Structure 1
Amino acid sequence: MNVHFVVHEAFESPGAYETWVQSRGHQASYSRVYLHEALPENLDDIDLLVVLGGPQGPSTTLEECPHFDAAAECALIARAVAANKAVVGVCLGAQLMGEALGGKCVHSPEAEIGNFPITLTEAGKANAKFADFGDTLEVGHWHNDMPGLTADAKILAASEGCPRQIIEYGKLVYGFQCHMEFTPEVIELLIGASGEDLVKLSQRRFVQQPPTLRANGYTAMNQKLFGFLDALVSDYKATR
């Protein structure tokens, strides 16, 4: 399997997704757009496209962030979906996925930063890729917005602060508003990049501060992510 990552910022690294690639013997390639690396023009050698998070939004312009081209990333996602590739969007990546497929990104009811539980919907419980998630699962969060929905989209999981945590846009196409790829190393990068933001949000009920963020456990959510990815790969190979 050839996995291509679109990375928006150095502090929004692939984390456990990269661990999964290495542990399964897959191959990884990257478009580190913060280093002005190009998005892939040819998808022939890509099996799984993973578009990661970032502080930008789908409406962020090139004038506001010269290294981030939302329209180009939406076009890439749309091409990957049309080519029947496996596609995973994480946070900003999930929001871009929704936009690429016709769903408008909107604000989440609550900002969420830290570890909080998600609850699977009936559609989520019926999806075999999430069979190991249980009814609820504690996962990572770091967001203010959430992906838009298409006519065919299925919400597979929600949280108390955000009703759109995992969305199925197609059998091989999934948006994760939550961050199941968090590791202690990724959390340190995010804390370092957050400046005063965490302090300003300290009164929000779903925003944890650095001591709690550092004390959280991430291994269990990583393992559940690996199981989902293995199932996604199995479904992808069945289409070839």
Structure 2
Amino acid sequence: MRTHFIVHESFEAPGAYEDWARARGHEISHSRVHEGDPLPRSADGIDLLIVMGGPQRPSTTTEECPHFDAAAEKALIAACVAADRAVIGICLGAQLVGEALGAAFDSSPNTEIGSFPVSLTDAGREHPFLAGLGDTFDTGHWHNDMPGLTADATVLATSAGCPRQIVGYSRYVYGFQCHMEFTPACVEALIEHSEKELATFADRPYVQQPDQLRANDYTEMNAKLMTFLDRLAADHTGRE
């Protein structure tokens, strides 16, 4: 499977998504836009597009952040969807997926940073790629916004702090507001970038501080993500 990552910042690493792709022997490529890498010109050569998170919003302009071109990313996402490629957006990426399909992103009711449980909806518990993963399980979080919902979108998981944690836009297109890819290295990079900001959020109910962030065990969450990805990849490949 040819898996392409769009990475917006060095401290927003693909983590367990890339660990999975390497372990499965995928052909992996990257657009590290923070280093000046170009986006693919089309969906050709991509079977799975994974769009990572970042501190930007879909409304961030190139004047505000020269290396982030939301319109170009949304055009690539739309091209991949039209070509029946699999697409997964994480955090900012999830919001860009929704926008590419015509649904404007929203502010989340709460800032969430840390490890907190998400609960599968009825649709999530019955979903072929999520079934059996547990009705409720802990996932990583680091966000202020959430993806928009198209008329055909299905909310597959929610949390106490945010009603749109996993969104299915179609059989092969998903938005993950939660960060199931977090590893200790991913979290350490985010802490290093955001430690001063975290201190200002100390009174917020869904924000953990650095010591707790480092103490969280993300292993089980990573395993659940890999199960989802295995099922998605097998189903997508099996169409042919």
Which of the five TM-score ranges fits, normalised by the shorter chain?
over 0.9
Structure 2 counterpart of 1:26: 26
Aligned ranges for residues 124-203 of structure 1 at < 5 Å? 124-203=124-203
List per-residue Cα deviations over 1:78-124 (Å, max 9, x = no partner).
Answer: 00000000000000000000000011101000000000000000010
SS of the residue 1:230 aligns to: helix
Contact 1:95 1:105 (C-alpha < 8 Å) held by counterparts: yes
Q: Distance in 2 between matches of 1:119 and 1:94?
A: 18
Question: Which letter maps to 1:73?
Answer: E
Q: Distance in 2 between matches of 1:107 and 1:196?
A: 22
The Cα RMSD (Å) is 0.7
Q: Distance in 1 between matches of 2:24 and 2:234?
A: 13
Q: Shift in Å at residue 14 of structure 1?
A: 0.5
Q: Distance in 1 between matches of 2:7 and 2:212?
A: 26
Aligned residues between the structures: 240
Structure 1 counterpart of 2:5: 5
Kindly indicate whether residue 83 of structure 2 is the aligned counterpart of residue 79 of structure 1. no
Q: Shift in Å at residue 195 of structure 1?
A: 3.8
Question: Which letter maps to 1:77?
Answer: I
Contact 1:132 1:224 (C-alpha < 8 Å) held by counterparts: no
Structure 1 counterpart of 2:213: 213
The more displaced of 38-47 and 49-58 is 38-47
Structure 2 counterpart of 1:118: 118
Q: Shift in Å at residue 25 of structure 1?
A: 1.0
Contact 1:132 1:227 (C-alpha < 8 Å) held by counterparts: no
Q: Distance in 1 between matches of 2:198 and 2:80?
A: 35
Q: Distance in 1 between matches of 2:172 and 2:202?
A: 37
Q: Shift in Å at residue 135 of structure 1?
A: 0.5
Q: Report the TM-score, using the length of structure 1 for normalisation.
A: 0.99
Q: Shift in Å at residue 126 of structure 1?
A: 1.0
Contact 2:14 2:52 (C-alpha < 8 Å) held by counterparts: yes
Contact 2:195 2:210 (C-alpha < 8 Å) held by counterparts: no
List per-residue Cα deviations over 1:144-199 (Å, max 9, x = no partner).
Answer: 00000000000000000000000000000000000000000000000001041100
Q: Shift in Å at residue 132 of structure 1?
A: 3.0
Structure 1 counterpart of 2:40: 40
Aligned-pair identity (%): 60
Q: Report the TM-score, using the length of structure 2 for normalisation.
A: 0.99
Q: Distance in 1 between matches of 2:203 and 2:184?
A: 24
Structure 2 residue runs of 5 or longer lacking an equivalent are: none
Q: Shift in Å at residue 27 of structure 1?
A: 1.5
List per-residue Cα deviations over 1:60-92 (Å, max 9, x = no partner).
Answer: 000000000000001110000000000000000
Structure 1 residue runs of 5 or longer lacking an equivalent are: none
Structure 2 counterpart of 1:90: 90
Structure 2 counterpart of 1:105: 105
